[in-house]
Each structure stands twice: as structure tokens, then as C-alpha cells.
């Protein structure tokens, strides 16, 4: 019985280390669940406290289409997403910047650039 518990602990620790090694990411794609949307998902290592996440959407060609959306990342959750309706969205290059505020007030940012043309999202190099 002790061996099984030890193996289980090693597995859990290994999983946590793997998640921490990956760091923060954001990925954007077009979803069609009856209404087409651009969805950007932010993924970060899980923590034992609630954190604040801010999504900032910026259009290079039409800054009047920019938006900032603040939300809570609940305790022990490692991902959160934001979306914009595709219809009426400015074409061209977009940058989505996600700012994560930790419990101690420190902040981390990750960004994703993509090109929106004709209803498709093509992710661009940073």
C-alpha cells in the first residue's frame, strides 16, 4: 500500500512540474456554434488562489474595435477564454494580450497576433 501511494505522489508531482514548465500560453481560433466567434483561450499553471486575468483585444487597422475584458480565474483553474463575435469584426492584424495578476500583485503578460481575413484566423509569429 505504501508503494502505491508513493507512485501516486510521484505521478502528481510530475504532472505539476510539466504544467509549470510550459508556462503561460494564449491560442485563438474561430468557433461556429451557430454564431461564429473568435475565441482566445489563456492557459497557465494552476494555483491555490483566485487570480485576475485581463484580455486586451487590439486591431492594428481599426483601434475603435479594441476591447478590454477583466475576469477572475478561479482557484485551481488553469484556463479561461474570451471571445468576440466574428460578424462586424475589423479585418486585418489583431493582437490579443492577456495579463495575469498573481495573489502578490505581480503581473505576467502573453500575447498572440493573428490575421483575420474572410472569416478565418491565421496565427502570426510574435
Q: Decide: helix, strand or coil at residue 72.
A: strand
Span 7-19, average pLDDT? 32
Question: Residue 7 domain-assigned?
Answer: no
CB 104 within 8 A of CB 21: no
Which of 17-21, 28-32, 73-77 is the least confident region? Answer: 17-21
CA 49 to chain centre: 18
CA–CA–CA angle 71, 77, 78 (5° rounding): 90
Question: Residue 5 domain-assigned?
Answer: no
* Total of domains in the chain: 1
Torsion angle, CA of 101/24/111/41, rounded to 10 degrees?
A: -90
Domain at 106, CATH number: 2.60.40.10
> Which of 46 and 16 is assigned the larger pLDDT?
46
Domain that holds residue 116: 23-124
Q: What is the number of H-type helices and E-type strands within the chain?
A: 1, 8
Q: Which pLDDT does position 17 carry in this prediction?
A: 28
pLDDT digits 0-9 by tens, 92-111: 999 999 999 999 999 999 99
Amino acid at each position: 500500500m505504501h508503494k502505491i501511494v508513493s507512485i501516486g505522489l510521484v505521478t502528481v508531482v510530475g504532472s505539476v512540474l510539466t504544467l509549470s514548465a510550459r508556462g503561460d500560453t494564449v491560442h485563438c481560433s474561430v468557433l461556429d456554434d451557430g454564431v461564429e466567434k473568435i475565441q482566445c483561450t489563456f492557459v497557465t499553471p494552476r494555483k491555490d488562489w483566485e487570480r485576475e486575468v485581463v484580455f486586451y483585444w487590439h486591431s492594428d487597422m481599426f483601434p475603435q474595435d479594441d476591447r478590454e475584458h477583466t475576469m477572475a480565474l478561479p482557484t485551481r483553474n488553469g484556463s479561461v477564454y474570451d471571445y468576440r463575435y466574428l460578424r462586424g469584426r475589423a479585418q486585418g492584424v489583431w493582437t490579443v494580450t492577456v495579463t495575469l495578476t498573481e495573489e502578490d500583485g505581480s503581473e505576467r503578460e502573453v500575447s498572440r497576433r493573428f490575421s483575420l481575413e474572410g472569416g478565418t484566423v491565421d496565427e502570426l509569429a510574435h
